[in-house]
Chain A
Amino acid sequence: MIQELLDIASWAVRLAERNGAEEAEAFVYGEKRMSITFHEKLEAFKTSNSVGVGIRVAIGRKVGFSSASTLSKQELKKIVKISIAKARATQEDPYWKGLPEKSGRSTVKDVYDNRISRITHSNIMEAVKLVMDTVKDQNRDLELSRGNLHVVSNEKAIVNSYGISAKSRGTLASFYLNVTVEKAGKKGSSWELESSRFWKGIDFEKLAVSTSRRAIDMLNASPIPSGKTNVVFGNKVFANLLTIMFGNTLTAYAVQEGRSPWSGKVGNVIASESFSLIDDGSMPDGMGTRKYDDEGIPQQTTVLVDKGVLRSYLYDTYTAKRDDVISTGNAFRSIGFSAKPFSNIPRPAPTNLILKGSKSSEEELIREAKNGVYVVSTIGEWLSNPISGQLSVTVTNAYKIEKGELTKPVKGIIISGNFFDTIKEKIVLIAKNVAHSSLAYSPSVLVKDLVVAGK
């Protein structure tokens, strides 16, 4: 399949050049996807095969783009013509300095699990049955409210007028579970989202057990009084915060377009000395690891924040040429494992955003907090403002910390504050238990004196 994609990409680029494009690029994509949703019983089981092509052309500094969800040459001829027509009609972009030039072979290994690409309906059914049975076994009153398991295997090929001819493929399995319980008029709910590039990377039974236990704990959960408190953010929660607060604003695109508070701050201290953040597109088995980015440039490691000092932004080719630097291999046409990356132009985005862990265990953090709250899950954190730094998260599952230990379950509080001040002045301790969520890998983090709106 992949060679076919590469051939189509080459053909499309040659066609565009013959029709008047001075520069042309074709991004050709194909995927196989299976998704099952269930609760106490199965709801739906779907399979889909998707393909698509995105054509970017430039005539001088005028750039046009068009895409279609097909590999048919007849349709592709149309979209090549449309993208050229757009390039002719549009206005010049003074910052356009060309499509990427070939930049050597990648040393990054694609993350591809044959088990996923060959997965059968019965493999998926077995996993679902295991989850259903495990939840039932935990407690009679538990209800499996929602479960979703989906697996994807995809391939892409990128060819352009400067000799780039790159192919890359990947697999993903993603599992979501929400368990609820109702007893004596009280309600408890808990959820978990786990993703892996490998089928074996998801421990269905373990997740079903932990989610069930937390749902039961949350039966008796209540808000804590409003005020200032110490907070231990669980690793996945902090990974979500890092994604929201840095995922877009540390890209050169946001900086160059004036939509980042980090503009002009390279070399400045922006966080505490214990805070080091990298983007590692080459991380073995990383969730965002690919041999080539979506422009055909090899992915790599970029140091973003080193012991609190801002060192770099994330670049694709357009932004790199504008700053007279080299692309950091961070071009993405979509976030996560979307089915339609071919319908967008590339922009920089994180691959694997990694906050360096320390040597402390999560228990040490809780002990060090003495009194406060340990946050396991939240909603609404994506509504925080990465431009002003205003953080606001609604806590759905948490535990009170009293005298260095976890005690009562907590829910229904809002934690707010300024994230930028928090990472500069309020980080007390970072743990070693790195886990993945959204676009980041993070350990748990203890922060002091955040404002809680509760009872």
Chain B
Amino acid sequence: MMEDLLKYAVNYATKLGAIYADARYQCVTTSSVVVEKGIVKSCSTNRLLGIGIRVMLGSWGFSSTNNLTKASVKESVKDALRVAKSSRSLAMASKLAEVRPSKGSFISPVKVKPEDVSQEELIDLTISANKASIVSDAIKSAITHLGMYEDERFFVSSEGSDIRVKVTMTGLSHLSVAVDRGNMERVFDQMSYCAGYEFIKENDWQSFTKDLSETSIEAVKSDVPKAGNYEVVMDPKLIGLFLHEALGHASEGDLVAKGSSILRGRLGQHVASELVTIVDDGYVEGGFYVPYDDEGVRKTETVVVEKGVLKTHLSSRIVSSSLGIPLTGNARAEDFNNIPLVRQTNFYMKGGDMSFEELIEDVKDGLYLVGRGGGGEVDVGGATFTFSIGPSYRIKGGELKGMIRGTTVSGSILETLKTVDGVGKDVKVTTSVFGGCGKDGQLAKVGDGGPHVRVRSLRVGGKG
């Protein structure tokens, strides 16, 4: 029934002159329980639904509505065409790379549907995870958040594509704040998986939150490292964050096409050490599930960097055509209210052949940086990245010695990647039901990760 409305939209758009049109229906349901220090602070369910219509007339015209009636959809089509026509004089002359129309239904694996779980069970689980984190008086704040997310999308195009994708993801996050003699430190982490409630049931959340509290108690008593350059070993979470910020955004083909990426003109060049191979894949264990992008293009594994050499960029149909690169299926929109942009899916480093111990033992004086709870940002044009790290450790004489408090790290994208001199075997990719990657005001769910990695030199912010 919804497909009929979408088909009506694209047919009407082409009738009124669009060279191409697509329509996306989406229904997102999110449920959450938030518990702070044993008390349920909120228990809620939200539903967002609507249709977004995209038309091509030189540049994109787009209009969206929550009103799922034929009349409203008709108005949206007219609106989208109106804006496309009015901007034609300044529009890029754009061609869409060819794609064979697809039909199909793709549903991420679910054993226990979120709606089949009672409210009481969700609340009890979150409360018990939260209470387990209150290990001592030193813990001043403990907030636990259980999240469940179901995103169903229908895509119909004027070329005959008709695709349905439904993703279910569940997860739990926790923040502990510890106090020691007037100092405060917070530690945050989360675990999510593209699965139903079975993922929540099979994890030991009490140990998860307890460990966060214990880490925060140790971290608040630890020192911030001195500012400067260090030899570092990064954990999988941190290498994931680093790649996402340092190379992922720069790989987004729309940024390359506009000249605002450091990777422009570098296809075929060495951009990283030859130990480094990086891919972007719509399906990987632990990551977010993207079988098709929001242009109806199949998302398979894209090799972005192979043994240090830049092979390609991430593309959408316009970017593929304008840059003359393969179509990689990376056009994604946060929701029906937004236009797809080139976004990463699961961007991660492939494993090498070293063990964690081997990576650490050659470091005389450095840091083992852990990305738990961190975040990052990149200035693509200026070629610098910056990200925050959670409580981490010093390395002295090849051994871990003592905790350091979280701080921020930054550097030059290309310089840093070239100094990777050790790649571990233990690849881990993770995603999150909470938040996501931000670009142009749109949040995208992504996965990231890699193995443990050693970098010869990284600039650490340090203490003031």
A interface with B by C-beta (< 8 Å):
34-52, 63-70, 79, 82-83, 85-87, 89-91, 93-95, 121-122, 125, 128-129, 132, 143, 145-146, 148, 150, 178, 180, 182, 187, 189, 218, 226, 257-259, 261, 263, 339-340, 343, 345, 379-380, 382-385, 387-388, 390-392, 394, 396, 411-412, 414, 416-418, 421-422, 450-453
Contacts and interface: CB of A to CB of B under 8 A. Distances in A.
B271 interface: no
B383 A187 contact: yes
A351 B407 CA distance: 29
B87 A89 contact: no
B119 A125 contact: no
A226 B228 contact: yes
Interface string B68-103: 000000000001101110110011100000000000
A87 B378 CA distance: 42
B40 A416 contact: no
Interface string B25-68: 00000100000110111111111111010000001111111110
A44 B388 contact: no
Given A132-B90, A258-B37, A417 B43 contact: no
A129 to B, nearest CB: 6
B66 A41 contact: no
Contacts of A417: 463-464
B31 to A, nearest CB: 9
A148 to B, nearest CB: 7
A453 B86 contact: no
Interface stretch (B104-112, B164-172, B179-187): B179-187
Given A339-B337, A416-B408, A48 B87 contact: no
A45 B118 CA distance: 43
A416 B62 contact: no
B227 A146 contact: no
Contact of A451 (B37, B61, B67, B227): B227
A63 B41 CA distance: 8
B406 interface: yes
B388 A387 contact: no
A66 B123 contact: no
Interface residues of B, number: 87
A43 B382 contact: no
A69 B66 contact: yes
Given A44-B339, A65-B43, A66-B45, A380 B408 contact: yes
B387 interface: yes
A42 B227 contact: no
Interface stretch (B11-19, B297-305, B454-462): B454-462
29 contacts: A38-B90, A43-B59, A43-B254, A44-B59, A48-B64, A65-B44, A69-B47, A69-B50, A94-B39, A145-B259, A145-B260, A187-B381, A189-B382, A257-B36, A343-B48, A379-B377, A379-B378, A379-B386, A380-B376, A383-B386, A388-B185, A390-B407, A390-B463, A391-B464, A394-B379, A394-B410, A412-B382, A412-B384, A416-B464
Contacts of A418: 463-464
A411 B379 CA distance: 11
B463 to A, nearest CB: 7
Contact of B184 (A68, A129, A145, A387): A387
Given A258-B177, A392-B408, A453-B462, 8 more contacts: A35-B441, A44-B61, A46-B63, A145-B260, A379-B386, A380-B408, A416-B462, A418-B463
B244 to A, nearest CB: 14
A129 B384 CA distance: 30
Interface string B235-246: 000000000000
B172 to A, nearest CB: 17
B273 to A, nearest CB: 21
B224 interface: yes
Interface in B124-151: 127, 140-141, 143
A107 B87 CA distance: 42
A52 B49 CA distance: 10
B201 interface: no
A258 B141 contact: yes
Nearest to A89: B119
Contact of A382 (B377, B406, B459): B377
Given A396-B382, A421-B464, A383 B375 contact: yes
Contacts of A52: 48, 66
A417 B441 CA distance: 30
B416 interface: no
A125 B338 CA distance: 20
Contact of A414 (B36, B119, B408): B408
A189 B175 CA distance: 37
B260 A45 contact: no
Contacts of A69: 47-50, 66
Contact of B459 (A178, A414, A421): A414
B379 A379 contact: yes
Contacts of B408: 380, 383-384, 392, 394, 414, 416
A67 B45 CA distance: 7
A275 to B, nearest CB: 18
Given A64-B43, A67-B46, A86-B45, A383 B377 contact: yes
A209 B116 CA distance: 58
A89 B83 contact: no
Contacts of B37: 257-258
Closest 8 CB pairs of A and B: A417-B464, A380-B386, A89-B119, A258-B140, A258-B141, A189-B381, A145-B260, A392-B408
A89 B120 contact: yes
A90 B441 CA distance: 34
B262 to A, nearest CB: 8
B82 A121 contact: yes
Given A257-B141, A345-B44, A388-B183, A453 B65 contact: no
B187 to A, nearest CB: 10
Contact of A388 (B86, B184, B384): B184
A135 B459 CA distance: 34
B63 A383 contact: no
B83 to A, nearest CB: 4
Residue with the highest number of chain B CB atoms closer than 10 Å, among A394, A396, A417: A394
Contacts of B210: none
Given A122-B86, A178-B381, A385 B186 contact: yes
B62 A42 contact: no
Nearest to A45: B83
A143 B259 contact: yes
B236 to A, nearest CB: 20
A41 B91 contact: yes
B440 interface: yes
Contacts of B67: 49, 51, 70
B258 A47 contact: no
A41 B257 CA distance: 11
Contact of B65 (A45, A48, A414): A48
Contact of A453 (B41, B47, B118, B461): B461
A87 B64 CA distance: 33
A335 to B, nearest CB: 12
B384 A396 contact: yes
B7 interface: no
A391 B407 CA distance: 9
B412 interface: yes
Nearest to B91: A42
Contacts of B376: 380, 383
A66 B46 contact: yes
B228 A42 contact: no
A121 B463 contact: no
Contacts of A189: 260, 379, 381-382
Given A121-B86, A416-B463, A51 B66 contact: yes
A449 to B, nearest CB: 9
B174 interface: no
B313 interface: no
Contacts of A384: 408
A412 B412 contact: yes
Given A42-B92, A69-B50, A69-B66, A387 B177 contact: yes
B317 interface: no
